[in-house]
Amino acid sequence: MPPRSYQLLLLLLVELACVAVAASSEDERYAACAAANRTDAAPLRADRLTVILTGYSERRLPLLRAIAGAYAAHPLVLAVVVLWCNPSTPDRRLLLLRGGSGFPPHVTVRRAASASLNARFLPRPSDVRTAAVAVADDDVLPDAAALSFAFATWQQQQQHQHHQQAAGPLVGFFPRSHHLDLSRGRWAYTAAQPGRYSMVLTKLMLLDADLLRTYSCSPELAAARAVVDRERNCEDILMNFVAAEASGAGPVLVEADGGVRDWGDPRNDASAGEGQRGGVRDVGLSATGGLGHWEKRGRCITEFHRLLGRMPLRYSYGKAVQATAGEQGLCSKGGRLVRCDHE
């Protein structure tokens, strides 16, 4: 086959694949929104949270099982949902995962209709019975105390928003930012700037369950969701847009004792062992995209702004820190300035 014809065939196949993904994800979205709009739904519990883990790579399954089990054992977690987004995984493989040799009890495995990243934010009334939802990657696990503190921070933010009858801001551990690149006439996606940030990542974020319905069911966001499908990226950026618009506030960054273990970070030591990690770093989007990944996400911000006709992202300038440090006053002891409560 001539090279030109071969290229055209490849483009056609890619386009057909994108159309198929869009069609199946749209059917799934319509069904989820219809279920979420029912008026006979039970009230959502405010004292617990639901964790939604997104899985795709079968190489990560040992780690995913361990992470799901750790979440399920947390006293504040009511349910754990593993959303399996790899359409090529055989049904029999998923049946094994749902059985006794797969995930621990109290972990539900759901197969997404497509590999669309929008599926992460579908309203799932049969699975989500809590007002708080933690959306997380399959290679990240917070310390138990860190998750408890993040949930307490989310609850506090909800109380602040209650009188406005609005959803609270996102709460997360991994900050990012944006700024206007005047030389190029577009928005740029960046790491958190010194002293400020405007987004948190879906590596691990806590959000109001109502935001799932807004993200997935709002007709105004249809074109933006199509961008996510086209780019296979940027769903977390769009959720930051949605949350900032709903709350009128920027996200809240959490810093807690114990921190968050991130197996997917490319800065991990390749020889560190931990056999259950098993090639995790080779799978994630951000780990392999390099500068192109950051450029793409900057284009997403620019396109979301254009499609919505406004820029809802808000900067945040502080963070919630677990209060275990004691007094902050400094005293001179032994010729050095140290905490006054330090013996």
Structure tokens at 17: 């694949």
**pLDDT given for residue 7 in this prediction:** 57
- The better pLDDT of the pair 21, 25 is held by 25
Q: Where does the pLDDT of residue 323 fall: very low under 50, low under 70, confident under 90, or very high at 90 and above?
A: confident
Checking if the pLDDT of 17 tops 50, the result is no
Q: Which two tokens stand for residue 33?
A: 């929104």
Mean pLDDT, range 263-291, rounded to an integer:
62
Assign 229 a pLDDT band (cuts: 50, 70, 90): very high
> Using 50, 70 and 90 to split pLDDT, how confident is the model at 84?
very high
Q: Can you tell me the mean pLDDT for 112-123? A: 94
User: What's the pLDDT at 16?
Assistant: 47
Percent of the chain with pLDDT over 90: 61
Residue type, 264: G
> If you count them, how many residues does the chain have?
343
Q: Does residue 223 carry a pLDDT above 50? A: yes
Residues β-bridged to residue 159: none
Task: Considering only the C-alpha atoms of the chain, give the largest distance between any 2 of them, rounded to a whole number of Å.
Answer: 81
Q: So what's the pLDDT on residue 40?
A: 64
pLDDT at 103 over 70: yes
Structure-token pair, residue 74:
């947390």
Catalytic residue among 236, 262, 265, 269: 236
Position 161 confidence tier, pLDDT thresholds 50, 70, 90: confident
Residue 117 is predicted with a pLDDT of: 96
pLDDT, position 37? 76
pTM equals: 0.85
Say what the pLDDT of residue 322 is: 87
Which domains, from first to last, does the chain contain?
45-264+283-322 (3.90.550.10)
Whether the per-residue pLDDT at 185 is higher than 80: the answer is: yes
Chain-wide mean pLDDT for the chain?
86
Question: Is pLDDT at 272 greater than 70 in this prediction?
Answer: no
Split at pLDDT 50, 70, 90, the class of 28 is confident
Q: How far is CA 104 from CA 6, 54, 62, 74, 156, in A?
A: 47, 16, 12, 13, 31
Decide if pLDDT at 49 tops 70: yes
Q: Find the mean pLDDT for residues 114-132.
A: 95
Please state, in angstroms and rounded to a whole number, the distance separating the CA atoms of residues 144 and 129: 21
Lowest mean pLDDT among 73-87, 88-102, 247-261, 302-316: 88-102
Q: Residue 23: pLDDT band by 50, 70, 90 thresholds? A: low
Active-site residue flag, 236 = yes
* 187 Cβ neighbours under 8 A, 6+ residues apart: 178, 179, 180, 181, 298, 301, 302, 305, 311
- Which stretches within 195-260 are classed as H helix? 209-217, 222-231, 235-247
Over 70: is that where the pLDDT of 209 sits?
A: yes
Q: Cβ(330)–Cβ(339) under 8 Å?
A: yes
Residue 160 reports pLDDT greater than 60: yes
Distance CA 182, CA 211 (A): 32
Contact 285, 300 (CB under 8 A): no
> Which band of pLDDT confidence, cut at 50, 70 and 90, is reported for residue 307?
very high
